[in-house]
Structure 1
């Protein structure tokens, strides 16, 4: 059963106090501090806001007490949640994806190629045709595509299409030619060039090998970059997302963010993770954490890639893939380099967020964290493992022992359910997507979507977390349903626990006095709805710091 309290919580307001706005007649829910398993779900019907911050929440008595407030908003019984946080997304990639050919829903290679043809015909001025979202596991033949498929529709311009997980790319022959990729090209460490029986590149590049093409794609102009960000911002706030942890940004992107913030063009909050591959990483660390006065932009963490992804068989596994017996996956960053990065980052007090999907990658991170804590400390930096998808059962308790946050994406489970067992076999599923096991041991889970790998809609994530089913109610009863979350736990992971994972729980993540008035108005009450319908929840309004932004 969920724990609900209905006490008035305030900042010690006097009887004559007047606020900017009194919101009344709402069906409000929030988790209250502290973050983690001690958080309590509270219902309220009135909320007092002043200067963009919550002054009090309560019931009818609060509304009566401040009945003389100049600005009273009747919420007409609508359900109100705290603004939701996506604890792992890629904002520029999302903006770019909204401008490119979208291959997410294609069911065959021919359907994907047809979409490319249509897009190319509609964009004759584009020197490069780019896109994203293909997934061979959803196609009829379940095999990687080839450059020849694309050559049939576009052979006069280079084409580059990222797989849905961004850990593989599909090029046409012109893109391969421009990148200088041929039979003699050696794949970089941590990458793979897929080849045919004669050793010729087929057109698919995995993980670090993708850089061979991406390095020659012309950089967009500064204004084009800003437009992509703003397109992504608008997309996210319409979904009820008021804060995003941007997982891997370079110095140029940091400059774009600072410019957008200075110009007042950021309607939501961004917690930036500096990419470990950034050449200026040491300099940025030496400058120390950055936070704007209004907490719209915060940079105090570093994102490291340990391995690749499961769908492209790049996730690093202890034992070989069950459907590819000679393949253990890829360590995108070597174990030695990971250790060097930890030694560089920890003395500066930045949080470390390491992408680890396979059980070997997770073990490498856990081993190195344990050793570095003994030598340099850092246990209290709220370090995170991003994804933590496949963990050896022997290693699950180490998340708690090492005080690590599991930054996980619920829709990854429902998207991967059709191929995960093929990749892993049934025995390794014991430590896969193990949300409830981690919660039971007291580990904080910060939830996100990994957009644009998955759709950004957080209600898709809440639904997947609670049901372990896709939006077609499959599989019946849920996929490894013993690991599903309660709705309270899921909401916590998208709100106060996500804020905690960014050191922001004192100002964000819940509708409590003193915190920013970031909240959303919903078309249905997810706590009253059937769990199978949570994904259909519509966001009607979004507020950031008391200002309506959607």
Structure 2
């Protein structure tokens, strides 16, 4: 017996113009798509349930191709600093939050962005004025840097004699640590943070999942297993929360290479949670100038960024992933990091039938795009970074590099597969914001702005495909997910209006009416 979805518009995304009236689903699989009259007549004996869309629009289910689900939940639960726009506001926010904490408790904040207030990066001296006898830890929005106060440095054992760890930088002035730690140096503090238990991880994951449903997501490709001291326990929390009954959600887990040995020993087969690629970080981020560039930063000629691993080390890690018969997912923001990653993949090709993915690609080069065309690879991009990082990124990179920076249209025109994500909690989870950024290349509030690097604007069809078919291509499942077509899985995102009939700024007012996974309604606006 099956379900007939009707009463609205069905955007199949088979092509830009394909619109149907109804969909018939049986056992979680789309059996047929067409007019309501035809499907009702054809399947009258097996239609046991009918769902009236009441004028809403049915799309293939949205999937975020890159985020950190537990981290997103933490952001919702913890002190969120991402909208703080001045040091004065930051100080007051920290003071107010500290009043809620117990004596000696760590004050932890998420996501400060000094580019919003055009002042100094908060350092230990700034934080010491707020609290000097209990530790403060604030992560930067990119999560490739954090700042702590003197007490945090003391507890971590960081002083003038402490050397930079491999792949990290302890920022110092005249030999004295400032409290600002970049990339792997963060681990010196993260290793002494208060212990997080399974109960907390479960709460964060449930909070995240509920929010993902409300934003129309039927699935996500997420990297979380290396951050909570118990990789197997974290994996099993995913199994527990996404139980396939009360919560259905298609979670593809990126497995950090440092815990791959443990995770790959787990042989549990789960209908909704699967191990995806081996995750590797090749460099940092542009915000902290740790993204690895082939030429120095325009606004800081003394550095070209930070390589987390040498080319030889990166190649060895990719080779190890191949022993698990796994593809890799490599974080590459700078063009030199991308070059290192391409070289490692060329040396150790992906297993047959699978695709590697390269994540971010905020700075590329023509010669690297030519090499990418020869690889079985998906480029995992986050369009929202255009709205967040411009115009300050222009100062970092200079005019010469801009044509190949955040160049999503160029990558698609080269015939490369691209998927779309948010990188939440770094950026907002809302897929409409990602689609808006891909098409307009500006902040929503900057009405009338022509868009940064406007030649790189995507069409609406291209932008939506990033979060549907593109995400399916990233896991080599484009014959199963990402379209509304016979034989595909019945995962749907139901929106209140048709994006194709609205102006871009009007998209921001469109509501998610339903989120449907395996033909099961996991979220319904009128009920929730």
Q: Under a length normalisation based on structure 1, what TM-score does the superposition of the two structures give?
A: 0.90
| Cα drift, residue 235 of structure 1 | 0.8
**Structure 1 residues 287 and 236 mapped into 2: Cα distance closer, same or farther (>3 Å)?**
closer
What is the CA RMSD across the aligned residues, in angstroms? Answer: 2.0
Residue matched to 1:108:
86
Check conservation: 1:379, 1:403, Cα contact below 8 A. Answer: no
Could you tell me how far apart the structure 1 residues matched to 2:129 and 2:408 are? 44
3-state DSSP class of the match of 1:31? coil
Check conservation: 1:463, 1:533, Cα contact below 8 A. Answer: no
Pick from 249, 253, 266 the counterpart of residue 268 of structure 1. 249
Could you tell me how far apart the structure 1 residues matched to 2:36 and 2:513 are? 24
Give 1:400-479 correspondences, 5 Å limit. 400-473=373-446, 476-479=449-452
3-state DSSP class of the match of 2:278? strand
> 1:144-182, CA deviations, whole angstroms, 9 ceiling, x for partnerless residues?
111122222233321111100101101122111111111
> 1:203-232, CA deviations, whole angstroms, 9 ceiling, x for partnerless residues?
111111111100001221111111110000
Pick from 526, 530, 533 the counterpart of residue 499 of structure 2. 526
Residue matched to 2:366:
393
**Structure 1 residues 488 and 230 mapped into 2: Cα distance closer, same or farther (>3 Å)?**
same
Could you tell me how far apart the structure 2 residues matched to 1:201 and 1:461 are? 37
Pick from 346, 363, 377 the counterpart of residue 322 of structure 2. 346
Could you tell me how far apart the structure 1 residues matched to 2:448 and 2:323 are? 47
Residue matched to 1:536:
509
Aligned residues: 516
**Structure 1 residues 380 and 364 mapped into 2: Cα distance closer, same or farther (>3 Å)?**
farther
| Cα drift, residue 523 of structure 1 | 1.9
Give 1:164-313 correspondences, 5 Å limit. 164-196=141-173, 198-250=174-226, 251-252=231-232, 253-262=234-243, 264=245, 266-278=247-259, 281-282=260-261, 284-285=263-264, 291-292=269-270, 294=271, 296-313=272-289
Gaps of 5+ in 2: 524-528
Q: Under a length normalisation based on structure 2, what TM-score does the superposition of the two structures give?
A: 0.93
Residue matched to 1:494:
467
Residue matched to 2:526:
none
3-state DSSP class of the match of 1:354? strand
Could you tell me how far apart the structure 2 residues matched to 1:193 and 1:428 are? 28
Check conservation: 1:31, 1:492, Cα contact below 8 A. Answer: yes
| Cα drift, residue 511 of structure 1 | 2.0
Could you tell me how far apart the structure 2 residues matched to 1:533 and 1:187 are? 49
Residue matched to 1:52:
28
Residue matched to 2:3:
21
Could you tell me how far apart the structure 2 residues matched to 1:123 and 1:515 are? 50
Could you tell me how far apart the structure 2 residues matched to 1:263 and 1:122 are? 37
Residue 71 (str. 1) matches residue 52 (str. 2)? no
Check conservation: 2:383, 2:434, Cα contact below 8 A. Answer: yes
